[in-house]
Structure 1
Amino acid sequence: MEQKRDVVLDIRDVPSPGQWITLSLQHLFAMFGATVLVPFLVGLSPGIALISSGLGTLAYLLVTKGQIPAYLGSSFAFISPIIAAKALGGPESAMIGCFLAGLVYGAVALVIKKIGLGWLMNILPPVVVGPVIIVIGLGLAGTAVNMAMYENPGAPAGELVYSTTHITVALITLGVTIVCSMFLKGFLGLIPILIGIITGYTAAFFAGIVDLSGVKEAAWFQMPEFMIPFATYTPVFSWEVALIMIPVAIVTLAEHIGHQMVLSKVVGRNFIEKPGLHRSVMGDGVGIMIGSLIGGPPLTSYGENIGVMAITRAFSVYIIGGAAVTAICFGFIGKISALISSIPSAVMGGISILLFGIIASSGLRMLIDNKVDFGNNRNLIISSVILVIGVGGAFVKLSDGVSLSGMALAALIGVLLNIILPGREKNSGNMFETEKKNKINAA
């Protein structure tokens, strides 16, 4: 493929020891802030979240036959349902609900394998997928900006405290990362994210917003308090919890498909067809079930790590696997986990501004590459509705504490509009076939 001209490390390439360690750490840092933030918000263990993300990622790589370089981290879509499930029956009930959501993934994967994905590509043409990918990136924009601007980014809107120091640190982090990605060559050109985080952390330390007390108090070896069914608790099935948790799989399945589309564009391969969407969906489901079996939050493929690969052009699954193993180790090493936890939100916000923006830009690139004609009212209507509903935060309430919102609702309405509105072009559903035709015509 043409995109492979500037590939630094292809999917099966084994990096040198120096590249392996450094690039894996870069992926670890890219996912760390969001992966740890979720358990903090829902009252679960950050250490277990790291371990479950590492185990889930390794399982994902096995299920996908080592052909998809994706990292699995804590899913934001499950925050409200976990809190609701905990209120009904404690954290044990939440874990049972998460396990059921993983089973839904497995069922969907089997259906895709049985029926195929032609129907899926027909209802998800570039005019639908492109705007949905843009929504994925822009939907995270508020999180990135809040982390960059406020002392307490997780607080309610009325309680946010603006900080000049935090925004300054975030801009320093962002600026250094941009400069490094643009001008550094050789090996240093492969690690702009890591350099940006280190520089931002240093700036934050001298600005006085780094708290190292947790590092001093933490033990070197620290065994997390795992929640293992039939070992630490007896699982009890609840239809109420199931009805709260299972519908969230709709959100994360839509997110998964969007991420697979983005990753396919970034790497230059059709992961939807090979190794197949059924394998990637099954891999995500296995990751969710692994997390639920040890007391960690559900997992999903991470846009942050796709952004890292888009910048570094290093796609090796060995790098992803190295990040996963390192995450597992960090979950047991108290001081290292505490040190990473001491990274201020401003630093992660500065990095996230760039990474989330790359996701949104990938959707725009998809529309351009597939020559979507916005002079056609049909295309204009579909993309416009998707963007406003997705970015605007529209939602449909399914039950107390569970809603279909944001990207998932936008994707669903986009699919319906694509089916209902007249004038759909034949064979317009497969964006990869469109790319092939464009290349043939160009030749």
Structure 2
Amino acid sequence: MNQTNHAIRDAKSLGLPKMLILGIQHMFAMFGATILVPILVNSYFVDACGEGSTRGLTVSVTLFCAGVGTLLFHVCAKMKVPAFLGSSFAFLGGFATVAHLDSGIYAGMSANDKAAYACEGVVVAGLLYLGFAMVIRIVGVKRVMRYLPPVVTGPIIICIGLSLASSAIQNASTNWFLAFVALATIIIFNIWGKGMFKIIPILIGVVISYAVALVMNAMGMTNPDSSAILNFSSVAASGIVGLPPFQLCKFDISAIFVMAPIAIATMMEHVGDISAIFATVGSNFLADPGLHRTLLGDGIATAFAGFISGSANTTYGENTGVLELSKVYDPLVIRIAAVSAIIISFIPKVSAIIGTMPSAIIGGVSFMLYGMISAIGVRNVVENKVDLTKSRNLIITGVIFVCGLGFSDGLTFNVGGTSITLTALAIAAIAGIVLNMILPGNDYEFEAEESSSEEIAGAESRV
């Protein structure tokens, strides 16, 4: 991969203060989506159980699991992969299904207990990652990657970004002015910024747009739907320091059959995300430390989160977008973000303050981040010289796009009386892999990518 000469692979050269700022930027990038998952899950359980005070998941536990899960991932990946693990949206359907179970042991069950049973399914889903990682370790990544050439992974990466586009629009539409301020600030500092300001455009965009929101709120202005721009009620009700309300998961086979099969989808998404990071950074993480190690780390992080009733983890595209913008590829910066998330999980008031960030600002930031992910996918296709004049490549790419963008609600089917939902990205990945297997002309050789990665590593060591 051809990378810009301005890429920074050793953040220590910037000094500790700048490293901390870069870590906080990554934390802000993941924060909105990560805390949204427990909020959505709680709404399922409240609707199903009719309880306003008892909730299934909490923001503080989710942040703790994201931080610890990211650190566990980095240990498994030999500290080489600059990936952040946040809450997975793929499991939302499973949580909703468990929340509405009302027979057998689930009849009259409280929201917290139902959530605990659902989280056991998350644990099993994480263990399935370990099984897949073992298969890859035994047969070798070369054989596995023959089924995942750039003609498959590139379009999937593009779909990852484009599938999130509607979320960016939805958030930004709550207040287009604030969204524009955030987006414009990011673009200005990324293009014309100097020194440190050029590599933290996301953080600057968040800070400046939030300051504008404070001024607008103080002047009595509201969002177009007449709602308050900022709501500090949750801040006043939060404590200074507090232990996250951990809860051990509970075992039941019904919940496992609902939640565990979702791992099929998230494992395919994992491959796409790691491929996106590979395309961004220029280091072949599929070969070193290896796909089996990244899957192992993601699986352990997910199982750990489920064990203490946290949200399932997944590699986060938002942070890949930050890597592309900042050009700082040192995994140490991601670990700083992970530690920051853990610290905040023990300070409810800080978590609540960050949680007051208007959706419009998150939408403005997402405009840039989600677009960057798709752009990375395009670059992956171009740099790997995928020949789109070949009919097989056009067919594979076209089917992946339609599946990844067309199945907006996923595909739900029943197996043994259990409802299973495959996400659009999982459907796209499966379709691409199957077509690549059965259509003639697959001439992809993974060794070429490995040697390219070795050349990059050698060049870095010489520098």
TM-score of the superposed pair, with normalisation by structure 2: 0.86
Q: Is it true that 1:276 corresponds to 2:293 in the alignment?
A: no
Tell me, in whole angstroms, the C-alpha distance in 2 between the residues paired with 1:122 and 1:21. Answer: 40
SS in structure 2 opposite 1:29? helix
Report the alpha carbon displacement of residue 431 of structure 1 after superposing the two structures with TM: 7.0
Contact 1:304 1:355 (C-alpha < 8 Å) held by counterparts: yes
Tell me, in whole angstroms, the C-alpha distance in 1 between the residues paired with 2:153 and 2:2. Answer: 22
Q: Which residue of 1 aligns with 2:49?
A: none
Report the alpha carbon displacement of residue 398 of structure 1 after superposing the two structures with TM: 2.8
Matches within 5 A, 1:47-58: 47-58=60-71
Cα deviation 1:95-140 (Å, max 9, x = unaligned): 1111000110111111111111122211111111111111111111
Tell me, in whole angstroms, the C-alpha distance in 2 between the residues paired with 1:428 and 1:417. Answer: 17
Q: Which residue of 2 aligns with 1:232?
A: none
Q: Which residue of 2 aligns with 1:35?
A: 34
SS in structure 2 opposite 1:311? helix
Q: Which residue of 1 aligns with 2:461?
A: none
Report the alpha carbon displacement of residue 422 of structure 1 after superposing the two structures with TM: 2.3
Q: Which residue of 1 aligns with 2:110?
A: none
Tell me, in whole angstroms, the C-alpha distance in 2 between the residues paired with 1:295 and 1:396. Answer: 26
Matches within 5 A, 1:342-381: 342-381=356-395
Contact 1:125 1:431 (C-alpha < 8 Å) held by counterparts: no
Tell me, in whole angstroms, the C-alpha distance in 2 between the residues paired with 1:2 and 1:370. Answer: 11
Contact 1:132 1:363 (C-alpha < 8 Å) held by counterparts: yes
Q: Which residue of 2 aligns with 1:391?
A: 405
Tell me, in whole angstroms, the C-alpha distance in 2 between the residues paired with 1:401 and 1:33. Answer: 29
Cα deviation 1:188-222 (Å, max 9, x = unaligned): 11110000001111222233301122223321112
Matches within 5 A, 1:177-196: 177-196=186-205
SS in structure 1 opposite 2:231? coil
Q: Which residue of 1 aligns with 2:133?
A: 109
Q: Which residue of 1 aligns with 2:423?
A: 405
Tell me, in whole angstroms, the C-alpha distance in 2 between the residues paired with 1:423 and 1:9. Answer: 37
SS in structure 2 opposite 1:403? strand
Q: Which residue of 2 aligns with 1:149?
A: 173
Contact 1:30 1:308 (C-alpha < 8 Å) held by counterparts: yes
2:444 to 411, 427, 430: 427
Q: Which residue of 1 aligns with 2:152?
A: 128
Q: Which residue of 2 aligns with 1:241?
A: 255
SS in structure 1 opposite 2:91? helix
Instruction: Quickly say closer, same or farther: Cα 1:274–1:13, change in 2 above 3 A.
Output: farther
Cα deviation 1:149-187 (Å, max 9, x = unaligned): 13xxxxxxxxxxxxxxx1111111111101111110111
Tell me, in whole angstroms, the C-alpha distance in 1 between the residues paired with 2:127 and 2:59. Answer: 24
Tell me, in whole angstroms, the C-alpha distance in 1 between the residues paired with 2:71 and 2:179. Answer: 32
Instruction: Quickly say closer, same or farther: Cα 1:16–1:428, change in 2 above 3 A.
Output: same
Which amino acid counterpart does residue 189 of structure 2 have in structure 1? C
Task: State percent identity of aligned pairs.
Answer: 38
34-43 or 117-126, larger mean C-alpha shift = 117-126
Contact 1:70 1:320 (C-alpha < 8 Å) held by counterparts: yes
Which amino acid counterpart does residue 128 of structure 1 have in structure 2? V
Tell me, in whole angstroms, the C-alpha distance in 1 between the residues paired with 2:31 and 2:423. Answer: 25
Matches within 5 A, 1:6-405: 6-10=6-10, 13=12, 15-43=14-42, 44-88=57-101, 89=106, 90-150=114-174, 166-208=175-217, 209-229=229-249, 235-236=250-251, 238-393=252-407, 395-399=410-414, 401-405=419-423
Which amino acid counterpart does residue 404 of structure 1 have in structure 2? L
Higher RCO (C-alpha 8 Å, min separation 6): 1
CA RMSD after TM alignment: 2.1
Report the alpha carbon displacement of residue 2 of structure 1 after superposing the two structures with TM: 4.7
Contact 1:7 1:314 (C-alpha < 8 Å) held by counterparts: yes
Contact 1:133 1:360 (C-alpha < 8 Å) held by counterparts: yes
Tell me, in whole angstroms, the C-alpha distance in 1 between the residues paired with 2:325 and 2:172. Answer: 21
169-178 or 27-36, larger mean C-alpha shift = 169-178
Tell me, in whole angstroms, the C-alpha distance in 1 between the residues paired with 2:447 and 2:359. Answer: 40
SS in structure 2 opposite 1:246? helix
Report the alpha carbon displacement of residue 319 of structure 1 after superposing the two structures with TM: 1.1
Which amino acid counterpart does residue 68 of structure 1 have in structure 2? V
Contact 1:47 1:331 (C-alpha < 8 Å) held by counterparts: yes
Tell me, in whole angstroms, the C-alpha distance in 2 between the residues paired with 1:416 and 1:278. Answer: 21
Tell me, in whole angstroms, the C-alpha distance in 1 between the residues paired with 2:244 and 2:450. Answer: 48
Tell me, in whole angstroms, the C-alpha distance in 2 between the residues paired with 1:94 and 1:6. Answer: 46
Tell me, in whole angstroms, the C-alpha distance in 2 between the residues paired with 1:363 and 1:298. Answer: 25
Extract unaligned runs of 5+ from structure 2: 43-56, 107-113, 218-228, 457-463
Which amino acid counterpart does residue 31 of structure 1 have in structure 2? M
Report the alpha carbon displacement of residue 428 of structure 1 after superposing the two structures with TM: 4.7
Cα deviation 1:11-40 (Å, max 9, x = unaligned): x85652211210111001000000000000
Report the alpha carbon displacement of residue 427 of structure 1 after superposing the two structures with TM: 3.3
Report the alpha carbon displacement of residue 4 of structure 1 after superposing the two structures with TM: 6.1
SS in structure 1 opposite 2:146? helix
Report the alpha carbon displacement of residue 430 of structure 1 after superposing the two structures with TM: 6.3
Report the alpha carbon displacement of residue 353 of structure 1 after superposing the two structures with TM: 1.2
Aligned residues: 416
Extract unaligned runs of 5+ from structure 1: 151-165, 230-234
Tell me, in whole angstroms, the C-alpha distance in 2 between the residues paired with 1:428 and 1:420. Answer: 17
Instruction: Quickly say closer, same or farther: Cα 1:6–1:363, change in 2 above 3 A.
Output: same
Instruction: Quickly say closer, same or farther: Cα 1:434–1:412, change in 2 above 3 A.
Output: farther
TM-score of the superposed pair, with normalisation by structure 1: 0.89
Report the alpha carbon displacement of residue 435 of structure 1 after superposing the two structures with TM: 6.2
Tell me, in whole angstroms, the C-alpha distance in 2 between the residues paired with 1:5 and 1:310. Answer: 13
Contact 1:124 1:429 (C-alpha < 8 Å) held by counterparts: no
